[in-house]
Amino acid sequence: MDNHRIILIGASAGGRLAVEKVLQNVSADINAAFLVVVHSSFDMISSFSKYLNQKIEMEVMEAQENMAIEKGKVYLGIPNQHMVVVNGKISNSNGPRENLFRPSIDVLFRSAAVAFGNRSIGILLSGRLNDGTVGLEAIKKCGGVAMIQEPETAEYSGMPLTAQKFVEIDYSANLEEIGDIIKELTDKPLPEKKEIPYTLVRESEIATKIRSQVKTEDLLGEKVSLSCASCGGPLWKIKDTEIERYRCHVGHSFSQESLLLAQNENLEQTLWVCLRTLEEKKVLMLKIAENFKSKGSEQLARSYSDRIQEVDEHIDRLRQLMDIRD
């Protein structure tokens, strides 16, 4: 284990083909192990490992609890579970989502950086938004190497572009070149060792649910007047990082962009609930008015007409706001 390089690969939209292209020319006798996270929906059936085993020389396995990390093998994160490194081995964690994802690239990169320090090489491929930037930053702080797919050649350039903006990138390369760079790096001496920052250790513990409490957040950052879009709790702005991001004491973590996206989704969901409730209220009031009318209580029936008209106006405004047409 002491001589293995740990290659960490993260990707999102357009990432499966990118991962395949990076690994297809890597020999199984390489002095490195590969840990890979590709974003997927929580209910997605994992089939990527079976597919990848048919395309590359190295053996591909899905991450399992307490799995040893061996050179010449590829370990894939599974849907709805963070892949993390604990005590030098792979662990699956259902810890809080980061940047709306589980598995999260940041979680894998950070935990591996803390565990392996200067042996870590982080590679960020095609994807939207900015998951992976914080993880690459952690790898650099722990003495590792940061690499991105050349943004101009990525199917979706958001992730590598954001990393390029906020992290000192060592290599930016096309997919076809990354395998050769990996081979060169594994043949070189390790970079100089660095002391692992204590804040990164604490954040890694949060993702694996070893520690998550308000005291931890006070250590990591400053409390701000924003609420967590996942649980509604208070947020802390994390310090000692280039990209602005936030974390709640439960452990949910957001960049500015992912927090805004989550707030938009919550707002849309709330508007749909309001619209449904108003339409149900209208139906109920119409039934009440009809009941009064059938019993000869015309005056009581008419008393509901103004209220029904008011509900109709609210429904029309909501529909206009949500751009819903009959």
- The one catalytic residue in 126, 131, 204, 253 is 131
Per-range mean pLDDT, top range of 66-70, 94-98, 319-323:
66-70
At 193 the pLDDT is 92
- Alpha-carbon span 117 to 137, nearest angstrom: 12
- For 207-241, b/e burial (b = at least 16 CB within 10 A) is bbeeebeeebbeebbeeeeebbbbeeebbbbbeeb
Count CA atoms within 13 Å of residue 187 on its CB side.
7
Q: How far is CA 281 from the centre of its chain?
A: 39
Residue 170 among the catalytic residues? no
Residue 39 among the catalytic residues? yes
- Alpha-carbon span 132 to 200, nearest angstrom: 15
Count CA atoms within 13 Å of residue 129 on its CB side.
24
The pTM for the full model equals 0.74
pLDDT band at residue 41 under the 50/70/90 scheme: low
pLDDT band at residue 315 under the 50/70/90 scheme: confident
- The percent of residues above 90 in pLDDT, for the chain, comes to 49
Which residues make Cβ contacts (< 8 Å) with residue 85, sequence separation at least 6?
Answer: 35, 69, 91, 108, 111, 112, 114, 115, 116
**Residue 134 DSSP one-character state:** H
14 has a pLDDT exceeding 70: yes
- The one catalytic residue in 12, 157, 204, 255 is 12
- The percent of residues above 70 in pLDDT, for the chain, comes to 93
222 has a pLDDT exceeding 60: yes
Structure tokens at 29: 């006798």
Q: For 58-62, 156-160, 174-178, 314-318, which range has the lowest pLDDT when averaged over its residues?
A: 314-318
Which residues make Cβ contacts (< 8 Å) with residue 39, sequence separation at least 6?
Answer: 11, 12, 13, 15, 101, 103, 105, 127, 131
Structure tokens at 223: 């409390």
Sheet holding 253-255, edge to edge: 221-227, 234-238, 245-248, 253-255
Residue 180 among the catalytic residues? no
Structure tokens at 280: 């149900």
Nearest residue to 19 via CA among 127, 112, 140, 136: 127
CATH 3.40.50.300 given to domain 5-187: no
Higher pLDDT, 225 or 27: 27
Residue type, 179: G
At 240 the pLDDT is 75
For residue 160, say if its preceding peptide bond is cis, omega within 30 degrees of 0: no
- Alpha-carbon span 147 to 163, nearest angstrom: 9
**Burial environment of residue 5 by CB neighbours within 10 A (0 to 12, 13 to 18, 19 or more):** buried
**pLDDT of 237-265, one tens digit each?**
887 777 788 777 777 888 888 788 778 77
